[in-house]
Amino acid sequence: MDKSALEISVRGVVQGVGFRPFVHRIAAACGLSGWVANTPGGVAVRVEGETGSLSRFRALLRKEIPPAARVTRLSMRKVPVSGLQGFEIRRSRTGGNALSTIPPDISTCRACLAELSDPGDRRYGYPFTNCTNCGPRFTIVSSLPYDRERTSMAAFPMCPACRREYENPLDRRFHAEPNACPECGPRLSLRGADGALLPAADPAGAAAEALVEGRIVAVRGLGGFQLAADATNEGAVRALRERKRREEKPFAVMFPDLDAARSAARIAKADESILLAPGAPILLCPSRASSPLAPAVSMGMPAVGVFLPYTPLHRILLSRAGRPLVMTSGNRTDEPIAIGNAEALSRLRGIADLFLLHDREVVQRADDSVVRRVGRGVYPIRRARGFVPAPVPLPRSFPDVAGLGGDLKSTFCFIREDAAYLSQHLGDLELVPARDFYAEAFRFFREFLDARLRAACHDLHPAYFTTAFAPNAGADRIFALQHHKAHVYSVLAETGFRGKAVGVAFDGTGYGEDGAIWGGEFFAVDGPEVTRAGQLSYFPLPGGDAAVREPWRTALSLLREVLGRRDAEGAARRLFPGVPGESTGLLLDALDKGINVAPTSSAGRLFDAASALCGLCTRAGFEGQAPMLLEGIASRRPAGTYPFTLSGENGLLAVHWNGMAAGLIADAMERVAPETIARRFHDTMAAAILSAASRLAETSGARHVILSGGVFQNATLLASVLTGLRRKKMVPLIHRQVPPNDGGISLGQAYYAALRVAGG
Ligand SMILES: [Zn+2]
Ligand SMILES: [Zn+2]
Ligand SMILES: [Zn+2]
């Protein structure tokens, strides 16, 4: 008989997801001998047998991979037949890079769900059911290598039945490190608002009942505590807002199932696979007018964050409550989420009426991830639970480096070989607890990757915590990279693009190389070099942070630029009736004298100003509210654009917004419908981006256009820029793995440092 042998190397998320048992199973089915083992970067397979069986094996290996696995590279080579007998799963060799062996947390699989609702199964109704295809991973790991003894499951010795499953290579729970059952595994408990233990035979059922009665329940989830409330109960949702001190930012809603979600949001076919994917993120979907959700959930925003139960505990809670639940991070606004029982009982005291606890420690804190859908793919907004620590694959190998991120929506990133490992979303680093979380997570990643950092790269901003942190990163060299360049490099890292391109980075704020506040930037990209090539023309931004909280301030500055001081005062009285004349007068004085005023090219602030001028948002309850409201009302029908001009100044292309601002202000003064103004504004911004990008592309001969920065979270703007680029036969490069907002800049910084170090 014709025999041959193959050596196969598989890379990607292939450990802790049932890949080895899968290979064992298909090898046995094909009658092959050999072995499978985890390696530092993936899984290695050796198979031999009849040539026909080998090709059947190869087909199955490609086609039937476990649902939570993600193969980024699969290579095979023929080797001499060596007469191996039987098939075995070999002991792991993990080498230095232990992080690559830890998958992200995986939402409950079908088989486990079936057991959960099967009265005959020994795990019937058990809220911690899991297997090699699903369950907690990253959030329970405390040290390396990834096995049960080094997770928070170490506290639960397996009962004989669980151990048999764990040791049987043909069982779905073979080496499922968090394997557990009602006999031996974690258990729920219930505590009252004062922290006193409440006797309950069925804690999850009691919690669901309390939710239905309109109470707020703190639930210990996968990556930390969540605060739950009945999403159809206006009083309950308002109480949650008040107690959490979160006045206006929309809440995400967990629905019992897809059908329930459809009643509140428009969910396309392509959205379903995102909601049902192993990472189970929150997906931003357009709300339905007939939505059963309480108005206080979305606070007038046109989109709702939808997600589905991703642990058995969530599944039980949602089906027992029989209604959608607000599920929001268990914290007070701006603090990291609580993870420990005692911590939650003290920090969430006064917020929660009831605490649904369990005794499996959460080791790694991770918020729920948030995504949008663009085209058929995921477009990340916040990357945490279900995504971290899966790496972003890079086009080639690099020395160890780190990017330290920024202070808002902070993440950091390590590059190790040909993969970039981003931390989970760490939040805004204004308060000490968030900074501690950052430093702790950084230590953990450095240790798990066994990284010897040749370089670390931080933002140019002198006052950022992450800038001050740089000397503590333990790197040989330190680089600083301008904020918007980091946005552009993050797309280069993700796409592996090399060559000529135009980079567009539009966001709220980034410290510029000239000390100005940048935020509407164009770059010439040539291989690894990124140079500033254009900008929105500068306008005076009064008083930094105050302008972000009160968009009328930026709007007033535009009024003054367009109309002059005297007319600006009158226009402000008309357009911002809620703002006292005294305040506008003082601010105009400051602008005249240039006191506490910085030049800015911020596109985000232009959106703020447009929103204020339309009368939508003069004071913002949270960052991004003004542009979100503006996008939300923009009419679906095109209504023309405002004028804008381009000019060359000192080798930089300048996009002048004055014509646009003048047109917009005139519309606002004439009480043109805000829907029309909003649409015109969006279309003008898109047209300005398109014409500046094509002008720069002509000059350099580029065909590709990179789009990054928080402004591109705006789906309306992004869609019209994408359409426009394709019409011009240009190729857009956008984010698919990290957020376009500041959550993605650490990847860009790390990639920049890697290119610098590798280039010598
Ligand atoms: Zn499972
Ligand atoms: Zn057990
Ligand atoms: Zn930014």
* Residue pLDDT, tens place only, 499-542: 999 999 999 999 999 999 999 999 999 999 999 999 999 999 99
113 alpha carbon, closest ligand: 1
The two most distant CA atoms of the chain are separated, in Å, by: 95
Enumerate residues with CB within 5 Å of ligand 3 (an ion). Answer: 507, 510, 742
The answer, yes or no, to whether residue 333 has pLDDT greater than 80, is no
The answer to whether 250 and 297 have CB atoms below 8 angstroms apart is yes
173 alpha carbon – ligand 2 mean position (Å): 11
Identify the nearest ligand to the CA of 173 by its number. 1
Identify the H or E element spanning 11. strand 3-13
Q: How far is the CA of 405 from the centre of ligand 3 (A)?
A: 10
Rounded to two decimals, the pTM is: 0.94
Q: Quickly state the pLDDT bin for 189 (edges 50, 70, 90).
A: very high
Residues of the chain with CATH 3.30.420.40: 535-733
Average pLDDT, integer, range 9-14 = 84
Is the domain 188-370 a CATH 3.90.870.10 member?
yes
Nearest Cα neighbor of 173 from 127, 223, 135, 222 is: 135
User: What's residue 92's pLDDT?
Assistant: 65
Q: 697-730, pLDDT tens digit by residue?
A: 999 999 999 999 999 999 999 999 999 999 999 9
Ligand with minimal distance to 483 CA: 3
Q: 528 C-alpha to center of ligand 3: Å? A: 20
pLDDT of the residue at 18: 84
Q: What average pLDDT is seen over the chain? A: 94
- Ligand 2 centroid to residue 180 C-alpha, Å: 5
> Could you tell me which CATH number the domain at 3-93 has?
3.30.70.100
Q: Mean pLDDT, to the nearest integer, of 116-132?
A: 97
Counting residues of the chain whose pLDDT is more than 90, the rounded percentage is 85
Instruction: Kindly state the average pLDDT of the residues 121-142.
Output: 96
Cα–Cα dist 413/482, whole Å: 16
Percent of the chain with pLDDT over 70: 98
Ligand 3 midpoint to CA 733 (Å): 17
Q: Which ligand is nearest to the CA of 711?
A: 3
First to last CA, the chain: 54
Q: Is 508 helix (H, G, I), strand (E, B) or coil?
A: strand
Residue 188 Cα, ligand 1 centroid: separation in angstroms? 20
Nearest-5° Cα angle at 706, 700 to 709? 130
The answer to whether 624 and 709 have CB atoms below 8 angstroms apart is: no
User: Running DSSP on this structure, what letter comes out for residue 332?
Assistant: S
Q: Please determine, looking at this structure, whether the domain spanning 535-733 carries the CATH number 3.30.1540.20.
A: no
pLDDT tens for each residue of 38-54? 876 788 999 999 999 99
Q: Where in the chain is the domain with CATH 3.90.870.10?
A: 188-370
583 Cβ contact list (under 8 Å, min separation 6):
none
**Distance from residue 759's CA to the centre of ligand 1 (Å):** 45
Nearest to 169 by CA among 10, 15, 24: 24
Question: Taking Cα atoms as reference points, which of 165, 169, 172, 155 lies closest to residue 17?
Answer: 172
How close is the Cα of 157 to the center of ligand 2, in Å? 8
**Three-point CA angle 435, 439, 441, nearest 5°:** 115
Ligand number nearest CA of 407 is 3
